[in-house]
Structure 1
Amino acid sequence: MTRIITALSDISADYDALFCDLWGCVHDGIRAYPAAVDALKAYRAQGGVVVLVTNSPKPRADVATQLDEFGVPRDAWDTIATSGDSARVAMFRGAVGSKVYFIGNPETDMGFFEPPRIVSDPVPIQIVPLDEAEGIVCTGPRDPLEDPDVYRAEFLYAKTKGLKLLCANPDIVVDRGERREWCAGALARLYTEMGGESLYFGKPHPPIYDLARQRLTQATGRVIEDSRILALGDGIETDIRGGSGEGLDTLFITGGLEASRFGPDVENPDPKLLHDWLMTTGLTPTYAIGRLR
């Protein structure tokens, strides 16, 4: 049975580290949630370690800069693990070949193509037209408001060539302020449904958790047992399924992507509505809270 709590401090003493989601949990894609920031700062002040685990396709340095812009202070977190970093390592190890067709925003996502330091002999990556490609790299749709079906013709051609699609962000949608946007996961899902092969490296898949544990060990200088790590976020199919699959306790933020399901008071989810909906997902988070605070 999922226990509904009123504040992170209700349970924080039981955990040495947090694997904390960002979008919908710490910020809304435009600005920080002050109560969430205060909760993370208080947790760290008591000796806890905060690893931000995000399905952003960006390298962690770019995410840190973005957090500065959103008003998330650096004393609210210790380190960052991104889906983009996990996917970049795979790409530079040759997961989709050296000639790739890129789907994403060329103005914001080109940092994805900078070789990570941890790959000693990176495969040289060249962005090419689809008819010359050995694989596809998707950091997100070119227009996040456009229906993923617009890629169907490209994907049909790619499938006939047997191209693999590397998905840098498994999220299907995010809410940027009041606007819902499509993510790379929606395109990868379509490609898979059409018979293509999609490769995933963010939540809920294991590679990003391996990276998060590495970053946690680097930040603390010691190995923290899984029983002392709490995974939290608003994505039931990413944050909660992923954390549960890794054997971690989980905290579901009900006031994020699924806020409309649990009654009119976003801060205080209706227990029966929450229980009934969780039964349909097959998941039982350890805890739930309206907003991180």
Structure 2
Amino acid sequence: MEDFAGMSVDILERRYRALLRAYPADYRRERADELLEVLVADETGGRRWPEPRQAIALVRGGLRVRGGSAAERPAAVLVWQGVQLAALAVLALGVLVALDDMEEAFRFGGLDAPLLVLKDLGLNLVLSAAALVALWLRRQRLAIGLAVVAIAGQTAVSQYLYLNGLPQWWAPVVALPLMIAGLWRPGDVPRVDRGNAALVTAGVLALHLVPIDGLHNVDLMSRVLAVAAAVGAATVFLWFATADQRLLIAAAPTFALTTLHEVMVGSESISQTLPFLAVGVVLVICAVVLTRRRQARV
């Protein structure tokens, strides 16, 4: 029985260690053992899985620490890391839209004129993707240069994206000032680690993949499913974002791309996209307010 109990404790401890990966590596090195002692203290009941309440608390605690709650200047971490994550998210969204447009162009007749498709869409896609990778690798100045070339080079080769004000043309335009601002990041604010940056970017992109467009053209059941998916995605995102407000900063500028497209082409549907821009502004305000309230409680 003692061997069985000891084995259960070892399994439970490994699973708690897996949950503790929600915390940054430096934080784990300093406090993981202390936290584990508390979590598995006097555990003799043969339990092999963490309690759901504790698991949720650990994940949210890790998100808060990543968001700067344990830093000396939480607001500075929020702003500067949020700006870096926002630039990544905007570039990633632009690349995603560009890939989708290129696939659609080839699918609907582009194979008859592949060079024309590449001329109109290719340079922007390649350079925006390169800027995204450079920024993720922390080569910020290289990423800025690639974004500039993505804007000017694509427009010089073909004005198709510019004249139509497409979101993938706007992506490096919006990301550029964010990346430039990041050059003035204070020395006491660490950079976002790459794994965390990839997860945050993926989370923001997931919001934009939820099917919410064209609901008036589909049957009632499809509308209900689309609305349920949108509400579910927003709920999950906000659950994470209330713990790590950097997500709000990262998501905010991505909502501007569609609005800028509608403004540039003078579309009649601009009134439908302005609320998305308003959402972006509200996200930034909420991030700042939540961080200040957290500082006040500390």
Q: Which of the two has greater helix per residue?
A: 2
**Could you state the TM-score of these two structures normalised by the residue count of structure 2?**
0.29
Larger radius of gyration: 2
